[in-house]
Structure 1
Amino acid sequence: MVIEQYEVRKSYRQNEILRKSFNELASGIFGINFEDWYKNGYWTDKYNPYSIVTENKVVANVSVNKMEFISNGKSVKYLQLGTVMTDKKYRNMGFIKTIMQEIEKDYYDIVDGIYLFANDSVLQFYPKFGYKKSTEYQYSKVISNKFNEVGMARDKQARQIQMNNKEEWSLFEKAIENSVNNCAFEMKNNKELIMFYVTQFMKNNVYYVENESAYVIAENNEDELFLHNIFSGKIVNVDSIVEAFGYDISKVVLGFTPLINQGYQVEKLCKDNTTLFLKGKGFDLFEEKEYIFPTLSHA
């Protein structure tokens, strides 16, 4: 009988063998691969997989994401846990529990809180570690001014940016770095995570609105606009951003908490197979303030 030896490995992104094994597991379970992100220089120590490894094979993992948010004008430091996965052959062996204990030992006393988004199959698991279910709030607005004064549909002023080369990436990175807070609860100092999105899944969702000097990440679904985030050197008028996508837009949904919520409908956010869990005093005002974690902050 062969007895396998297991160990917790972390901070191994530069280990090609372990990184390849991690990517194979992530691809098999979630259909995602972090190799391009690594090669493009965006995988830094802000994203740190904690993995159970046997014979140079990653068989279970919980990734630590170091997060900073601006809330009520103050910086708060969180950990977001993500990429929670176990190879089918190695399930029900307590590996995720072992990893969670290791993470808490390393970080719990040095952050304001820890959070994660869990699927329905593990809703009874995380409360064992002191995590509590929480609610996010989403903001939307019906747009009534579909036509201008002379009854003509307005041309779209939002210019789509093709995020397919490093020159465009560099310009966008600078916009992120120099942006003011356009959200009431905004992720800061993590351009790497945003670049994960716009260099892969959301290459076609980056726009530039010249009259606001703002980069916008948005999904335009016929008459509904989903705004993921806005990056600009000044606080922008969200209504002006929406108008730049044309007067055929009849509704805007925000993937962030607006600075000014007047005029918005606020609803509890209910996602299929997704529950938010929080742990720590750093979240005391989260629900009271009716916040949402920006969609581009999900890891």
Structure 2
Amino acid sequence: MQTKQLTLNNKTYTLHIAYQANERMRQAFNAMTFDFWEFTFEPYYQSGYWDDNCILFSLFEGEQLVAHTTLSLFTTYTADQRLHLGQLGTVMTLPSHTKQGLSRFLMESIFESYNDKLDGYFLFANDTVLEFYPKFDFYAVLEHQASKAFCKQPTTHTVQRLDLTDITDLHCFQHYLKNGHTGCRFDTHSYGLAHFYCYANPAFGYAESIYLIPELDTLLIAQHEKDDLMIYQAYYLKDNLVDQAFNALADAQTNRVVLGYTPIDTGYTYNPYKEEDLTLFVSPALITYFEEQPTMIPLLSHT
């Protein structure tokens, strides 16, 4: 935890960084997060999997949290290099404290602390604040999502749905997170965030969407959505047999596979993708990854 007192616009604030172990301040953060986004980070903290890659930057005025930004750190693997990236998320300012430069101060504090450690940044901006981030040299880019037509074939492979409340299944899940390959061209896989989505917050729906195909040494986080099989992430230990794993999990109604990440594999069609009311912004170093070839930030890496 780091703490710094400062004055902005003749008001005194305290900047607290990485303070989640402080219950009083964490509960203030959770309350503000629920007011803005209708979820909290408390289950994540209680799970024990909140690691050093999820860093809180908050301004307090006295005991009141008034502005916040979360920095999430990723080691991202592309086709030809390894990148150290930061995602800015959970951006919040109390309505009574907007237009006072507080969000600007938090972003500048993050840049001051991490610019020499990171190769670039990205964030998902609400469409009401699209004019704010270009002031910090962020650029809006369009994501593209991979999909392909699919027809289920006969298979003898078995599918086991994991229950992460069972310690054996949890350890299996963690084995794939630690040792598996993703076959993802822009891989922002995070051990902590995987637990955030799939373990700490069952209400998100992913906890019941984890499937193991033992014969293929492959684990899928996936959901059936009408005629689509939505694959949020795939992990394999040895050979890339994800197509066979998709076939094992598909049902007779499945006529398309849709991915929540950008695959290395060929044979996919790419279509523009944009979440409702959100636009992806990236720092200059990342623009080429989205403009020169179809790319998306893996859905389970969003904060």
Look up the SS of the partner of 1:296 in the other structure.
helix
TM-score of the superposed pair, with normalisation by structure 2:
0.89
Residue 263 of structure 2 is matched in structure 1 by 258
Look up the SS of the partner of 2:276 in the other structure.
coil
Equivalent residue runs for 1:14-33 within 5 Å: 14-33=21-40
Does residue 208 (structure 1) correspond to residue 212 (structure 2)? The answer is yes
Does residue 77 (structure 1) correspond to residue 84 (structure 2)? The answer is yes
Residue 293 of structure 2 is matched in structure 1 by 289
Contact 1:182 1:235 in 2 (8 A): no
Residue 176 of structure 2 is matched in structure 1 by 175
Partners in 1 of 2:275 and 2:157 — Cα distance? Answer: 31
Partners in 2 of 1:158 and 1:260 — Cα distance? Answer: 22
Residue 229 of structure 1 is matched in structure 2 by 233
Look up the SS of the partner of 1:6 in the other structure.
strand
Q: Any idea what the Cα deviations from partners look like across 1:246-299, whole Å, max 9, x if unmatched?
A: 33311110011111122x111121322110101132443333132111111111
Contact 2:146 2:269 in 1 (8 A): yes
Does residue 248 (structure 1) correspond to residue 253 (structure 2)? The answer is yes
Contact 1:242 1:249 in 2 (8 A): no
**C-alpha displacement of 1:4:** 5.8
C-alpha distance 219-273 of structure 1, shift in aligned 2 (>3 A) = same
C-alpha distance 58-167 of structure 1, shift in aligned 2 (>3 A) = farther
Q: Any idea what the Cα deviations from partners look like across 1:47-81, whole Å, max 9, x if unmatched?
A: 11111112232221011111111001421111000
**C-alpha displacement of 1:155:** 8.6
C-alpha distance 156-174 of structure 1, shift in aligned 2 (>3 A) = closer
Does residue 36 (structure 1) correspond to residue 43 (structure 2)? The answer is yes
Look up the SS of the partner of 1:177 in the other structure.
helix
Partners in 2 of 1:239 and 1:109 — Cα distance? Answer: 40
Look up the SS of the partner of 2:12 in the other structure.
coil
Residue 136 of structure 2 is matched in structure 1 by 129
Look up the SS of the partner of 1:32 in the other structure.
coil
Look up the SS of the partner of 1:42 in the other structure.
coil
Does residue 94 (structure 1) correspond to residue 98 (structure 2)? The answer is no
C-alpha distance 286-234 of structure 1, shift in aligned 2 (>3 A) = farther
Q: Any idea what the Cα deviations from partners look like across 1:184-243, whole Å, max 9, x if unmatched?
A: 22124x211111000112111111112212111011123211000111212423321221
> Which amino acid in structure 2 is aligned with residue 216 of structure 1?
L
Partners in 1 of 2:119 and 2:79 — Cα distance? Answer: 15
> Which amino acid in structure 2 is aligned with residue 274 of structure 1?
L
**C-alpha displacement of 1:181:** 3.6
The RMSD of aligned alpha carbons is 1.9
The farther-off stretch of 165-174 and 94-103 is 165-174
**C-alpha displacement of 1:10:** 0.6
Partners in 1 of 2:96 and 2:213 — Cα distance? Answer: 50
Residue 67 of structure 1 is matched in structure 2 by 74
Does residue 11 (structure 1) correspond to residue 18 (structure 2)? The answer is yes
TM-score of the superposed pair, with normalisation by structure 1:
0.90
Which of 48, 61, 70 aligns to 1:54? It is 61
Contact 1:113 1:283 in 2 (8 A): no
Residue 193 of structure 1 is matched in structure 2 by 193
Partners in 1 of 2:77 and 2:171 — Cα distance? Answer: 24
> Which amino acid in structure 1 is aligned with residue 77 of structure 2?
I
C-alpha distance 165-61 of structure 1, shift in aligned 2 (>3 A) = farther
**Structure 1: gaps (5+ residues):** 149-153
Partners in 2 of 1:82 and 1:218 — Cα distance? Answer: 24
Look up the SS of the partner of 1:51 in the other structure.
strand
Partners in 1 of 2:146 and 2:66 — Cα distance? Answer: 39
**Structure 2: gaps (5+ residues):** 1-9
Contact 1:181 1:235 in 2 (8 A): no
> Which amino acid in structure 2 is aligned with residue 68 of structure 1?
T
Contact 2:183 2:265 in 1 (8 A): no
Residue 151 of structure 1 is matched in structure 2 by none
Look up the SS of the partner of 1:193 in the other structure.
helix
Partners in 2 of 1:285 and 1:248 — Cα distance? Answer: 35
Residue 185 of structure 2 is matched in structure 1 by 184
Partners in 1 of 2:266 and 2:68 — Cα distance? Answer: 38
C-alpha distance 210-176 of structure 1, shift in aligned 2 (>3 A) = same
C-alpha distance 147-76 of structure 1, shift in aligned 2 (>3 A) = closer
Partners in 1 of 2:212 and 2:245 — Cα distance? Answer: 10
Look up the SS of the partner of 1:256 in the other structure.
coil
Partners in 1 of 2:149 and 2:242 — Cα distance? Answer: 13
Q: Any idea what the Cα deviations from partners look like across 1:69-121, whole Å, max 9, x if unmatched?
A: 10014211110000001123322322111111111111123211011000110
Contact 2:58 2:65 in 1 (8 A): yes
**C-alpha displacement of 1:147:** 5.8
Name the % identity: 28
